[in-house]
């Protein structure tokens, strides 16, 4: 019933997150026997592991909201509920800001996730605070979109409501059982996941040329990184064909982008790129080494317009 057999890995990582959460919850009080120092380190390790797992599930969310896992609509709905728990937020909210704004209007005023919103001279500040600048615009447009969907696509709106109810009921239940464990094992990983999946947009697009047929996105093509992130590093071809399944991205990149894209936009190592871009020299530059020239600062332009009936009702 899977659309692609490669999504067995997807299901394995979703399942692994629940197993990790259950293990962390059960072992949390047991580590106290090792003394305050070792118990603190052990608990910090559990939180870090869950944060990384939640971020990987955020990547899975990105993939699933572009290309569903199952042939069955009901199974896809259940998978979205599961991902809402592993990612930590209702996954249907991923659609407006990412699929409909960012993909359609990349790096323009209609892209609520455009990197030009950040203007710090020290580049590391741009990536650290990217989420804080992007979050308000995404939240506002999500609300507008959800309101319209309640009228025009009630099934989509019902799925969103169900995800909200399940996600927050789960979090609040864990906090009610043990507020420290609930916050550290559920809330902190979820916040890291949403920060990470939003911030990666800065890595993939800042300093690129959105008007160029090939050089509009930065790619990270290392094999190990892409195995764990479901080929998320092949971002350019994803923009060319957003509905293409993640398992097909490397082959499609090789056929349609490699050899045409500037080789500096095919980074072998994410860690090396992070060091160069944000530590040494840590200067904000375009992919070809020139200083980034930012466009004039402008507010978000509307990318979504409600149907005429909705506007008439509002008036």
Assess contact for 197 and 52: CB atoms under 8 A.
Answer: no
Greatest Cα pair distance in the chain: 66
Dist. CA 14–CA 76, nearest whole Å: 13
Task: Identify which of 96, 57, 11, 77 has the alpha carbon closest to the alpha carbon of residue 304.
Answer: 96
pTM, two decimals, is: 0.94
Per-residue pLDDT of the chain (315 residues; tens, 9 = 90+): 999 999 999 999 999 999 999 999 999 999 888 888 999 999 999 999 999 999 999 999 999 999 999 999 999 999 999 999 999 999 999 999 999 999 999 999 999 999 999 999 999 999 999 999 999 999 999 999 999 999 999 999 999 999 999 999 999 999 999 999 999 999 999 999 999 999 999 999 999 999 999 999 999 999 999 999 999 999 999 999 999 999 999 999 999 999 999 999 999 999 999 999 999 999 999 999 999 999 999 999 988 877 655 443 333
Q: What is the DSSP letter of 116?
A: G
Q: What is the DSSP letter of 96?
A: I
Give ∠ CA 55-177-175 in degrees, rounded to 5.
Answer: 45
Helix, strand, or coil (residue 285): strand
- Give whole-number Cα distances, 191 to 64, 74, 183, in Å: 20, 28, 10
Task: Identify which of 227, 225, 167 has the alpha carbon closest to the alpha carbon of residue 200.
Answer: 225
Assess contact for 75 and 69: CB atoms under 8 A.
Answer: yes
Dist. CA 2–CA 176, nearest whole Å: 37
Dist. CA 89–CA 190, nearest whole Å: 7
Helix, strand, or coil (residue 266): strand
Q: Who contacts 226 (Cβ-Cβ below 8 Å, separation ≥6)?
A: 220, 232, 233, 234, 250
- Give whole-number Cα distances, 116 to 100, 105, 192, 300, in Å: 19, 13, 22, 11
Dist. CA 211–CA 220, nearest whole Å: 20
- Give whole-number Cα distances, 46 to 30, 33, 43, in Å: 13, 16, 5
Dist. CA 4–CA 97, nearest whole Å: 26
Helix, strand, or coil (residue 291): strand
């Amino acid at each position: 019933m899977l659309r692609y057999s490669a999504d067995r890995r997807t299901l394995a990582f979703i399942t692994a997150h629940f197993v990790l959460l259950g293990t962390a919850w059960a072992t949390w009080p047991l580590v106290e026997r090792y003394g305050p120092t070792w118990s603190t380190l052990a608990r910090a390790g559990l939180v870090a592991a869950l944060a990384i797992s939640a971020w990987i599930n955020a990547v899975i969310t990105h993939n699933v909201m572009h290309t569903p896992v199952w042939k069955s609509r009901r199974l896809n709905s259940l998978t979205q509920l599961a991902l809402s728990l592993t990612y930590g937020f209702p996954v249907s909210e991923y659609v407006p800001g990412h699929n409909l704004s960012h993909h359609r209007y990349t790096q323009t005023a209609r892209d609520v996730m455009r990197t030009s919103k950040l203007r710090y001279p020290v580049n590391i500040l741009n990536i650290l605070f990217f989420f804080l600048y992007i979050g308000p615009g995404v939240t506002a447009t999500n609300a507008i979109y959800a309101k319209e969907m309640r009228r025009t696509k009630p099934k989509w709106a019902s799925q969103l409501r169900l995800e909200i109810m399940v996600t927050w009921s789960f979090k609040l239940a864990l906090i009610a059982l043990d507020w420290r464990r609930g916050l550290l094992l559920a809330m902190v990983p979820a916040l890291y996941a949403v920060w990470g999946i939003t911030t990666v947009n800065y890595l993939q697009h800042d300093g690129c040329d959105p008007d160029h047929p090939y050089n509009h996105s930065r790619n990270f093509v290392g094999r190990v990184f892409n195995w764990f992130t479901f080929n998320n590093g092949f971002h350019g071809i994803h923009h060319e064909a957003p509905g293409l399944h993640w398992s097909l991205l490397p082959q499609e990149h090789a056929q349609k982008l490699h050899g045409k894209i500037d080789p500096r936009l095919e980074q072998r190592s994410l860690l090396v790129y992070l060091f160069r871009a944000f530590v040494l020299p840590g200067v904000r530059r375009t992919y070809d080494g020139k200083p980034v020239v930012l466009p004039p600062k402008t507010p978000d332009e509307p990318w979504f317009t409600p149907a005429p009936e909705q506007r008439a009702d509002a008036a």
